[in-house]
Amino acid sequence: MKTMILSKLPSKSTRLRRCRFHFNLASDSSSARPFSSSTISTEKNDPTTQFQKTASNVCEVIRRKPRWESSILSLFPPSTSGIFHSICISLVIRRLSDSNPLLSFRYLLWLSSTSSSISLDPEAAGSFLNALSASRAWKPALHAIRSVKCLSEFSVLDPFVFHLCSDTRSIYCDNNLLYDLCDILESHSTELSLPSWNSILYASLITEKTDLFHRFYSMMIESGTDPDASTAGYLIRALCRDGEPTVAYHVLRDVSRKRIIPDVVSITQLISAFSKGGNFGRVSEILHLMIASGSQPDLFTYQEIINALCDGAGRTAMVDEAFRIFNDLKLKGYACDVVTYTTMIDGLCKSGRMEEALLLWSEMVANGIRPNNYTYNAIINGYCKSGNIDHARKIYDEMLSKGFKESTVSCNTMLAGLCLHGRLADAINLFAEMPKRGIHHDVITYNTLIQCLCKEGKTSDAIELYSSMLATSIKPSISTYTPLIMILCEEGRMTDAMELIKIMEAQGLEPLVCSNDFIISGFCRVGDAEKGMAWLSRMLQGNLKPRAETMDRLVECLCSLGQVDCALQVMKKMFDISYSVGSSVCHLLISKLCAVDSYQACQLLDEIVLVES
């Protein structure tokens, strides 16, 4: 007991001391000065004594009178009381800051509305901002900095900025804090210390304000502050978040030439970005650079690579490579954890290698790692995809019996499994069950079932489900509309299909290219070649390439309507965008043309040969 107290106490007091160091540096060094009898004459009519008197009276009034602003000047006439003298102002600010920071803020506001330029000593300015920082009154503090010039002096502003940006919770809560800070810094072109710049950059990064990040970063560079490893790391992370891994990579190259090595987290994010983009050549390059510069990739680094290698469902070779890295990790003594195991198990499940996945599961358990929701879901998904719904169900029940709660994701997984294997009735049943079991639907739940209903030809049920979705707070996505548009086009319900396209556009959703194909084919199906052609023009204008099949259909439709010229026009449009025309379309059109006009047929043939060469 005693040792516990002893071991705890010192660390706590060190922390306290450190806090005071940051917060009260200015006030500590000066606290004695105004009242120090050794430096100031004690005569009655000494001006300093006068200011002290006024200051304490002003404080009294401000503390006691609710609406002191309206009467304070009549109580303290500026010419005789010295209320606007910098010594007096500083004294009031310091006293109020100590007891009631917001009152000192109000006093400062009043000052700035009354007197054009306020001057207070840096110590008072410092304790003012420290007091507001300590009570996390960031908005008033920023407001004060904006309106009172002496608050943006380096010695006052720098610690303030550092504390503001370290309070990540407030920054998350109030989006505008960083923007306000940015505006202030841009208008003052203040210098800041490297730690302060880094804390600003970190705050911008974690709140995903990369626009701000770059503004701050330029200010930092313009102010002549040299970035360090943290700065470089944050820059790399910001660029990765912006989808600019290549730029981030060049930053990494540049700084490592100067022997500045960003932290593993940042480099891992860069590796993650290239992994997700499938650029594994670049990934191994960065790994080499990392190792050569003396920093070791860790479990997280490899985890990103393994995950990306497992991502492509059809790429079994990549899963093999992931598995190789995974096994290599174990050999090298990395402590693979539940996430690493789950990622690998999921990769194996997704490529249909259930036996290996289950072996890994056993190995994991043997190593004392408990499977969690994610692990269970990977296996359930694996069984669902391979059509073994009953096994999936068994694992699902096991998951529940182990105390893991089912979720929207686990239900969606089962739902998709049922849908995939034609068990529509069970799927509908599960959908209805979900809310009863306290599991809410989401956009994926709806999309899965809508797609399934469309696939099974239950168009009206699909539309009904879509309508009921609109009554919820769940917003439809592109994948909600794609199967609906497809089925409507297949049924020749072009008015309804076009209606959905319009709704999508109104919701800012871009129909997939294949939906455009469906529309054209649909118009052909109902013999409306004109609308089909119009839609084709729209597609081509939007730089979308129709499928060869769609073209076949349109040419076929136009030919059957005897509109060979139009068919020819379609062909020309294809040539214009140097689209390679399928041979079946060429055959069809040329044979049609031959029947009408063999000269034109020859011309077309020439052009095809020209384009294809």
| Binding stretches for DNA (CB under 7 A) | 206, 263-265, 268-269, 272, 298-301, 303-304, 307, 311, 337-340, 342-343, 346, 350, 372-375, 377-378, 381, 407-410, 412-413, 416, 442-444, 447-448, 451, 477-479, 482
Of 151, 152, 84, residue with least CA distance to 114: 84
Minimal distance in Å, beta carbon 341 to DNA? 7
Minimal distance in Å, beta carbon 178 to DNA? 17
Residues 468 and 466: their CA atoms lie apart, in Å, by 5
Q: Which is nearer to DNA, 151 or 290 (CB)?
A: 290
Instruction: Answer yes or no: are the C-beta atoms of 154 and 192 closer than 8 Å.
Output: yes
How is residue 542 annotated by DSSP? T
**Which tokens belong to 567?**
């068919």
CA 193 vs CA 18, 101, 223, 349: distances in Å: 18, 26, 10, 51
Q: Which is nearer to DNA, 474 or 590 (CB)?
A: 474
Minimal distance in Å, beta carbon 377 to DNA? 4
Residue 319 burial (10 A CB sphere; 0-12, 13-18, 19+) = buried
Minimal distance in Å, beta carbon 415 to DNA? 8
The CA-based angle 378-312-244, given to 5 degrees, is 115
Q: Which is nearer to DNA, 411 or 539 (CB)?
A: 411
List the alpha helices (DSSP H) in 82-137.
86-99, 101-114, 122-134
Minimal distance in Å, beta carbon 352 to DNA? 14
Instruction: Answer yes or no: are the C-beta atoms of 256 and 293 closer than 8 Å.
Output: yes
Minimal distance in Å, beta carbon 339 to DNA? 3
Residues 230 and 236: their CA atoms lie apart, in Å, by 10
Contacts of 22 (CB under 8 A, 6+ apart): 159, 162, 163
Minimal distance in Å, beta carbon 226 to DNA? 20
**Which tokens belong to 490?**
């297949």
Minimal distance in Å, beta carbon 231 to DNA? 13
How is residue 228 annotated by DSSP? -
Residue 425 burial (10 A CB sphere; 0-12, 13-18, 19+) = exposed
Minimal distance in Å, beta carbon 541 to DNA? 24
CA 200 vs CA 34, 135, 154, 165, 436: distances in Å: 35, 20, 15, 6, 47
Residues 312 and 357: their CA atoms lie apart, in Å, by 17
Minimal distance in Å, beta carbon 299 to DNA? 5
Q: Which is nearer to DNA, 311 or 552 (CB)?
A: 311
Residues 304 and 272: their CA atoms lie apart, in Å, by 5
Helices (H) and strands (E) in the chain, counts: 35, 0
The CA-based angle 90-96-97, given to 5 degrees, is 85
How is residue 472 annotated by DSSP? S
- Residue 98 CB neighbours (<10 A): 14
Instruction: Answer yes or no: are the C-beta atoms of 177 and 170 closer than 8 Å.
Output: yes
Residues 246 and 114: their CA atoms lie apart, in Å, by 54
Q: Which is nearer to DNA, 206 or 602 (CB)?
A: 206
Q: Which is nearer to DNA, 199 or 301 (CB)?
A: 301
Q: Which is nearer to DNA, 190 or 342 (CB)?
A: 342
Minimal distance in Å, beta carbon 301 to DNA? 5
Helix (H) or strand (E) holding 565: helix 564-576
Q: Which is nearer to DNA, 160 or 361 (CB)?
A: 361
Q: Which is nearer to DNA, 235 or 604 (CB)?
A: 235
Q: Which is nearer to DNA, 350 or 592 (CB)?
A: 350
Minimal distance in Å, beta carbon 221 to DNA? 22
Minimal distance in Å, beta carbon 410 to DNA? 7
Q: Which is nearer to DNA, 256 or 343 (CB)?
A: 343
Classify 286 as helix, strand or coil. Answer: helix
Q: Which is nearer to DNA, 329 or 555 (CB)?
A: 329
Minimal distance in Å, beta carbon 384 to DNA? 8
Q: Which is nearer to DNA, 219 or 449 (CB)?
A: 449
Q: Which is nearer to DNA, 33 or 475 (CB)?
A: 475
How is residue 159 annotated by DSSP? H
Q: How far is C-alpha 104 from the geometric centre of its chain's CA atoms?
A: 39
Minimal distance in Å, beta carbon 433 to DNA? 15
Amino acid present at 332: K
CA 16 vs CA 12, 21, 22, 557: distances in Å: 6, 9, 10, 82
Instruction: Answer yes or no: are the C-beta atoms of 338 and 364 closer than 8 Å.
Output: yes
Q: Which is nearer to DNA, 100 or 477 (CB)?
A: 477
